Amino acid sequence: MNRAGATTTTSINAPLRQFEGDHFVVGIAFLSTTFEVSTPPHREAGT
């Protein structure tokens, strides 16, 4: 998974642990991070 920031990208190779609303958490044991989803996936007209 990739996490895009203003000027950086962070890659994390870890299992998906849980969903929290539109966000999701990945990690192992006590090391985890939450990916905040600003716009959930959706279909565009014509695709």
Amino acid 18: pLDDT: 94
First to last CA, the chain: 24
Going from N- to C-terminal start, the domains of the chain cover 2-35
pLDDT tens sequence across 12-35: 899 999 999 989 999 998 899 999
Q: Is pTM, for the whole model, over 0.75?
A: no
Per-residue pLDDT at 3: 60
- Per-residue confidence (pLDDT) for residue 26, from 0 to 100: 95
CA distance 43 to 15: 26
Kindly indicate the confidence band of residue 6, based on its pLDDT and cuts at 50, 70 and 90.
Answer: low
Is residue 5 pLDDT above 60, yes or no? no
